[in-house]
Structure 1
Amino acid sequence: MTHHPDEGEFHDEQPSKTRRKKDMHALQDLGEQLVALSVERLRKVPMPEELFDAVRDAQRFTSHGARRRQMQYIGKLMRSIDAAPIQAQLDAFNGVSRAETARQHRLEKLRADLLEDEKVLGTIAETWPEADLQHLRVLRRNALKEREQDKPPRAYRELFRVLRELDEGAAAGAAPEDFPAEEE
């Protein structure tokens, strides 16, 4: 007796073998990305403790065979959890997410505005009361001097780093969305 696809006993119930293999390889790739992270970043990734320990073990292994087996074990652990939050955090680390990209653009615009006008420090002070305005003034002055003298942009980059740290530390306070959007 032949079964017609429309009679569908279990056609849509199980993913195909190819689909399962693709999913498994995707999880293994995700595991590789986790193993490549620093301990500080790894701690920020939402995952069960057992998976965290397995990743830390894989980071310590030097033998190719032991590492390969550990990666298979990590893949096995990952099949029993929801990998979406892990992927979202890795995307944020890599600057892939739209929110992270928008945040980077806001901070870059804020830095540019600050370089154009020192009065922007008032807005920064309102948004992040804990900000060291004197340090920001020095960084601004140094960044302008670097630009003027065609020197490497050390202070320029440091200014961005300080703004990013303020933004990361202000989860409970006002968000930088309060800054005016870029005119188009």
Structure 2
Amino acid sequence: MRGRDEETGEFLDISRSQNRRDALDVLALGEKLVSLTPAQLARVPVPEDLLPHIAEAKRITAHIAHKRQLAFLAKHMRREDEATLDAIRDALDVNSETSRREVAALHRAEDWRERLLKDGDKALSTLLEEYPQADRQQLRTLVRNAQAERAKNKPPRAFRELYQVLRALFVPAALGLDAVASDSDADADDLDDDSND
């Protein structure tokens, strides 16, 4: 029995149903952690003592054994304070938003590659208006070579390289890394100026 407050009649402890909902929430959080790639997991503030349990859950593939290991991971996660679990949830939300933006930027690179191959200089001019930092000559050469490869049924070397160049242009912009890089460059310049004084 949980007991009740004699004055208000409210329960003194959390209900078993709420405890179960909380436990299932932590289990779902553990499943998300296990599904992450090592690079994604590195960006999440997971306590060191949980990492071996996550690695073990990734390693085990047998269905029942995997479920048992997930439950064991969740048991250890429930021992962490709520602030740690909230930090993990927040990081996973940021990672999912970042992933969505990155995928959208990759699709955009594919679309622009097709536009450049179809419309040539007209599409290139539009692209350069939007991204003036892009290398006009490199893009023009890659478009020309990719069109020639298609016409002669050659391996798509320039086609792939064009995608890589467009990807390098779109992904940092989508993730907001251009502003971060320029800010860090400005900070580095300030440090150089200070050291010269």
Query: Which bin holds the TM-score, normalised by the shorter protein?
Result: 0.5 to 0.7
Aligned-partner residue type, residue 31 of structure 1: L
1:81-140 superposed Cα distances (whole Å, 9 cap, x missing partner): 2514414414643xxx3x555444433322211111222222222222221222222221
Partner of 1:140: 143
1:103-182 alignment runs, 5 A limit: 103-119=105-121, 120-170=123-173, 171=176
Aligned position for 1:37: 38
My pick for the range that moved more, 134-143 or 15-24, is 15-24
Aligned residues: CA RMSD: 4.1
Unaligned runs of 5+ in 2: 1-8, 61-68, 180-197
In the aligned structure 1, how far is the partner of 2:128 from the partner of 2:77? 45
Q: Report the CA distance shift for 1:71/1:147 in structure 2 as closer, same or farther (over 3 A).
A: farther
Largest Rg, 1 or 2:
2
The equivalent of 1:176 in structure 2 is none
Residue pair 1:31, 1:71 contacting (<8 A) in 2 also: no
Q: Helix, strand or coil: the match of 2:87?
A: coil
Partner of 1:21: 23
Aligned partner of residue 159 in structure 2, secondary structure: helix
Q: Which runs of 5+ in 1 are unaligned?
A: 1-7, 174-184
- Conserved? CA contact 1:115–1:140, under 8 Å: yes
CA distance in 2, matches of 1:124, 1:9: 64
| Normalised TM-score (structure 1) | 0.57
How high is the sequence identity, in percent, across the aligned residues?
32
Distance 1:106 1:84, change over 3 A: same
1:123-166 CA-partner distances (Å, limit 9, x unpaired): 22222222122222222123223322334434323322321211
Larger helix proportion, structure 1 or 2? 2
- In structure 2, the CA distance between the partners of 1:82 and 1:58, relative to structure 1 (3 Å rule), is closer
Pair 152,24 (structure 1): closer, same or farther in 2 beyond 3 Å:
farther
Q: 1:87 to 1:121 in 2, by over 3 A?
A: same
